[in-house]
Each structure stands twice: as C-alpha cells, then as structure tokens.
Structure 1
C-alpha cells in the first residue's frame, strides 16, 4: 500500500512510549468501553427483533414492511461508515464518535414516537448513521494501539463485551414488549446512547495525535479508498469476515419469522435461543484469544475457522429439510459460534498494514459487512412468507463463499 502503510503501533492505551504503561487493568477497561461502543450496532438490531410481530400489528404493517426497518438500519450502518472513517482520520477519534452518539440518541427518540412503518424505517436510517461511528472508531482505536497479535486479542475482548448484547438484548426486548410495548425498546436505546456519550467524554483518550492526522480532500479520500480496495491482502481478510456475515444477517432478518412464526416460539423463548447463539460466539472468540496468546499464527487459525464455518453453513439447509426445530437450532448455534472466531481475526489481519488510514480501512470493513447485510435484508424481506429456505440458503452460500474468496485472494 505504499504511503498507506505504517509501523506497528505501541501496545498501550496512554500513548506513552513505555511498555509498562500497558497494564492488564487498563487493557480491560479500554476493551470494555470500546466493546460498549461496538455494541450499538447489535443492540440496534437485536433488541427489537422479538417485537416484529407486535410492531406489525400496532403499525398495521406487513412482515415485509417491518423487515424493511431492519434493512434500512443495516444500509445506514454500511453507508455511514464511509463518511465516519475519513472524518476519524482527519479530526481524531473522539469528535466523530461524540457526534455519532448524539445523532443515534436523538433518532432513537424519534423511533419511539414513530406513527408508521415508513416513518420508522427513515428514522432507523438516521439512527444507523449515528450508531456506525461506534464501530468505526472502536476498530480504529484498536489499530492505533495494538500490533497484529495484540489487535486479535483486543478484538476478541471486544467480542466478549459486544457478545453480551445479543445474549441480553433479545431477552430484554421481549420483556420490554410484554411489559410496556415495543416503543419502550427505543427509549432504552436513547438512554444507552446518552450513557455512552458521557463515558466517552470522560474516559476515552484520544488515540490519534494531531501530527498523525490526514488532511485529505474528497478526491484524496476516494483515492485512499481505491488503494485500500486494490490491496489483495486486505480484501482476503476483509471478505473472510464480510461474506460469512451475510449468513449472520440472514439469521437476524429471517429468524424472527422462522422461529416465532413457523415454529411457534414465544418472544421470550426466541430471546433465549438467540442468546445461546451469542454465548457460543463469545466462547469461540475467547478460545481464539488464548490460542493467539500461545503464539499460534492468526492467519492459520482463520483458515481453519473458515473451513468450520463452511461446514456449519451447509448443515443449516440440511436441518431445514428435516422440518424439525432442534436440528435447525443446533446448526445455527454452530455457525454463529464460529463467527466469534472469524470476525476478530479477519478484522485485525485486514487492518494490520494500514495504520495511517485506520479509520478509512475500518470503514471499508464495516461497509462490506453491513452493505451485504442490507442486501440480505432486502432480499429476505421481498421473499417474505416466513419460509426458512431463503435464510438457510444464504447461510450455506455465505459459509462456502467466505472460505473460497479468502483462499483465492491469499494466492
């Protein structure tokens, strides 16, 4: 990448050239805060999934119209990151993050007051444009402060914190729907954004000093993106995470109607099933962290995880063919658990050589992931009907596609 490359950063959150400053307690505190910021995206998706049937009835909207509110959120998360990334490289990490959290909170208040599915869809788009800042900046801060192995371990710690969101969010969402109605979910999201804003203002140090910031105009920003997309190593790892995530988004969009509508799970039962998959994701991420700590090469681990992801993806259509609930739940658990190993390694390895444009590189990763998620949301929303086959076929193809693209681009 020439001028976009950078030497390995120091492994400490303070910015001082003193390895002793990188203490485990500071490491955990930073990971907890960055994980909470990264969780904005999962919370914005997972908490309101159990409310789909109730929202449709309250807003007199079809299942497809309700699913479009998720698709617009995913589209906003994808498009917004392309804007936030260069801003984070130009103005530092804190300022774009604070602005994004404020926008997310205000849009959440609007969602709570929405009178139609169409209005909710537009407000969800605005909500995502603000919420994506947490994901972009968190990855960029990790790249600012960690070398390749340290980044994998930090990303795994983020998955530990972020993974709590899918465990708790659907159950919390189901409880809120039962007690107060679906609008309470967005009041809670607004409060979460306000709390995150306070924590960032008080506790997140600026990891990009002024002398390392870029002053690119629009043409230069586009040129940076073009250079990033021409880097085969970057694409090999970025797509290794983005393509399998198509299956994860197919699960997010399709599972409410498949599991609750077709198989008859209650919102609370759905939340428990969803949370168990998130627990598997957390467990896999921590196994990867321990293996990397024992000097196992992340690149070798990633290939093996992608192989397992491909096998798990193929098991999902086979489970759907049986028509039984438990084989379907088991195959989904395996696929989503393996994602906990794939995502931290793919993100860390993709960003390792791109320190000078960490914000832009983080934006490309997020856009590939959430852009694909938006397309999957539109596809499954258009097909509708609650059939499990569109979800299952996307999962099978995503598992195989991630492995195939990674092996091809690595050569």
Structure 2
C-alpha cells in the first residue's frame, strides 16, 4: 500500500468515524437556543442527545450483519442516505418531540459509518497495525471536538440553530461522495451469510463467547462512558453552571479535546514499546484516581472553572489511551465475523453512553457533580471488568508492537 493511498484511507475512515461525534458536538452550543425556541429547558433538550445515543446503539446491531452479508459499501450508502434525510428533518423540526425522534434516525444512519469504518480497519490493515490505525482515526476524529462546537457556537450566534443541521447535511453529502469514488470495497458480499434472526443471533453469540472480546469491549465501553458523561453534561456545567457564553464554551470544548487527541497520538508511539494490555491497565488505574479526586472535589465545591477543566482534561487523556487499545484487542480475534464484532463493540459503547447521558439528564443539578459521579463509577467498573475478565481469556491475541502473538 502506497503512502498516498494509506493517507486517503485514514482520512476517509476517520471522517466516517467522526460523523457521529460531529453530529453530537456541533449542536451542543445550540442547547440554549433550542430550549428557548421550543419553550423548554436545556435538561429536556439533552434528551435529544440521549435518543441519539440509543439510535447508535440499536443501529449498530442492525448494520453488523448487513456489512457481513452485502459487503461494506452498500449498507454504508443506505446509512449515509438515511442520515442526510434525517438531518434535513432536524432542520425543519418544530417541536422537541420531533427533534428527539429525528435525532434517533439520524443516529441510526450515522452508525453505519462508524461500524463500517471499524470493520474496514480490520479488513484493510494487518491486525498488528490495528491499534496504530485506531490512534490515527482518533486524530481525525479529534477534529470533531476541536471544530464542531466552536463552529456550532458561531453558527448559533450568527444564524438560527437550524442551520447547524443544514451544515451537517452538507458534510454527510461530501463524505458520501468520497466513499463512492475513493474508498475501495474491502469485503466481498457473502451470500451464505443468513439474515434470518436465528443465524444472526448465532453470529452474535459466537462473538460474545470470546472472553477477550467481552472483556475489552465491555470494559472499554465503561471507560468510554466518561467521554459521554462529559459531552452530555458540558453545556449544563459550563453554560448553565459557570455562565460562559456559547462561543466561550466552544473554545473550552476545543481546548479539552487536546487531551483526548494528544493522548491517543502518544499511544501510537507508546504502542511500539508496550503491549495494549499494559497501556489499558495503566490508563484505567490513572482514570480511577483522577475521577475519585474530581468526584470528591465536586462534592465539596473545591473546583472553580479552571479546576473543573483540569480534572476533565485528565480523564479525557486516560480515555484517549485506553480507547484505541480496547478496540484493537476486542477485534483482534476476528476475521469472518468482524462486522458483527464491530457492531457489538460499537453498540456496547453507545448503550453505556446512553445510560450515562440519561443519568446526567435525570440528575437535575447545574454543577460538575453528576458528570464526576458518572466518571468515577464507570471508570471503577471498567477497571474491575478488565482486571477480572482477562483471567478468563484462554487464547489471547495481542495487537501491539510489530507482531501478533497468540497464546
């Protein structure tokens, strides 16, 4: 593979991976404007974020079997088409209920992009390079929290909040064009792959019987929940709690993303020397420590805006290290069922993320305490799941360094 082709693949796969998060981050600064337009509260508007997470969790289970049956690109076309139609529907939304429903379908469309991208990493690159490739995807993904909320804040300030969804529609159209012309089909359709409920469930069960997958997919999902807690609660914490403006919030969000992006790129260097398993263990232990300090500090009102930003930055750094490694180790054992494995991996992340988001909405407190509570509980659970689960892995496949080692 030439360097130019490698770069193009990373950019397209990264764009597919970033579509969902971009759809989340860009409209966060518009929460206040949406609430005012629809005569409701920002807590209620946050339910449109929860419905998005639920849509991604459900949709990924749908696309996994389709990707294994029809190849990667055809289901991707349908998903991007659904996303484009739903985004235009959000543009015309006149009620919160309508927005919540359309955000669900927008998410179902966007998750085709993320599931296909993850499966194609497994198809197109050697397994020993997967952790490195996931780190590079996170670099592209990092454009979302850096650009989306800042752009969204300026759009909401200069125009109506609906324009945010028009911009998302245009972005999706551009991604669809790049997929059509520059992304190769990486997996030939498999006519023998049945789409009947029984065989599909059978494929999912096969994936779920793999102890390595369960350990790192579920453990990684709970670690990743810290990111969802931050995304869901950040408008409430900074805009409602610390009274920053929409544009100020966009810049804070962009600055905090440096922790997530920077640590993921540091991971691509560290992975040359350390195993993914070692990286995950160190990141989760540090995440638990920072989250405990954040929770206790939030409980006793120790932190102002600077301290809150510092605590969130630390947690995001830990997630940036753990996420590419848990993803790589989860998918490492699979070739034939990579689509189904990618679907369950993504669905577990989004299901746990949806729970954390709903938890933030339920705890109606305009402070960092709900965010910190979710972060500390999810990080402790992640550490326990990985620590206990890896003892049950009998045939471990490691995706670190330059060699794949099967035990």
**TM-score, length-scaled by structure 2:** 0.93
Partner Cα distance (2:58, 2:192) in 1: 22
Are 1:44 and 2:26 matched, yes or no?
no
> 2:185 aligns to what SS in structure 1?
coil
Partner Cα distance (1:96, 1:138) in 2: 12
CA contact (8 A) 1:319 1:328 kept: no
> Stretches of 4+ moved more than 4 A in 1?
none
Counterparts in 2 of 1:366-381, with a 5 A limit? 366-381=346-361
Partner Cα distance (2:327, 2:248) in 1: 32
Partner Cα distance (1:306, 1:26) in 2: 35
Aligned to 1:291: 270
CA contact (8 A) 1:157 1:286 kept: yes
CA contact (8 A) 1:310 1:400 kept: yes
Once the 2 structures are TM-superposed, how far is the Cα of residue 130 of structure 1 from its aligned partner?
Answer: 0.3
Aligned to 1:249: 228
Aligned to 1:401: 381
Aligned to 1:311: 289
Counterparts in 2 of 1:323-342, with a 5 A limit? 323-342=303-322
> 2:93 aligns to what SS in structure 1?
coil
Once the 2 structures are TM-superposed, how far is the Cα of residue 87 of structure 1 from its aligned partner?
Answer: 0.2
Once the 2 structures are TM-superposed, how far is the Cα of residue 309 of structure 1 from its aligned partner?
Answer: 1.8
CA displacement 1:303-349 (0-9 Å, x = unmatched): 11222222222232133231422111101001112211111111111
Q: Structure 2 residue aligned with 1:349, among 305, 308, 329?
A: 329
Q: Structure 2 residue aligned with 1:281, among 240, 245, 260?
A: 260
Partner Cα distance (1:47, 1:240) in 2: 28
- The alpha-carbon distance between structure 1 residues 252 and 213, as it changes in their structure 2 partners (threshold 3 A), is farther
Aligned to 1:8: none
> 2:85 aligns to what SS in structure 1?
helix
Are 1:302 and 2:280 matched, yes or no?
yes
Once the 2 structures are TM-superposed, how far is the Cα of residue 135 of structure 1 from its aligned partner?
Answer: 0.6
**TM-score, length-scaled by structure 1:** 0.92
Q: Structure 1 residue aligned with 2:184, among 189, 200, 205?
A: 205
Aligned to 1:55: 34
Q: Structure 1 residue aligned with 2:89, among 102, 110, 129?
A: 110
CA contact (8 A) 2:68 2:189 kept: no
Once the 2 structures are TM-superposed, how far is the Cα of residue 148 of structure 1 from its aligned partner?
Answer: 3.0
Partner Cα distance (1:298, 1:71) in 2: 31
Aligned to 1:220: 199
In structure 2, runs of 5+ residues without a counterpart are 392-407
Counterparts in 2 of 1:164-183, with a 5 A limit? 164-183=143-162
Once the 2 structures are TM-superposed, how far is the Cα of residue 24 of structure 1 from its aligned partner?
Answer: 2.6
Partner Cα distance (1:346, 1:297) in 2: 11
Partner Cα distance (2:31, 2:348) in 1: 26
Once the 2 structures are TM-superposed, how far is the Cα of residue 63 of structure 1 from its aligned partner?
Answer: 2.4
Aligned to 2:14: 35
Aligned to 1:128: 107
Partner Cα distance (1:210, 1:135) in 2: 19
Aligned to 2:395: none
Deviates more, 1:269-278 or 1:130-139: 269-278
Deviates more, 1:383-392 or 1:72-81: 383-392
Aligned to 2:58: 79
Partner Cα distance (2:191, 2:289) in 1: 43
Aligned to 2:363: 383
CA contact (8 A) 1:100 1:133 kept: yes
- The alpha-carbon distance between structure 1 residues 23 and 311, as it changes in their structure 2 partners (threshold 3 A), is farther
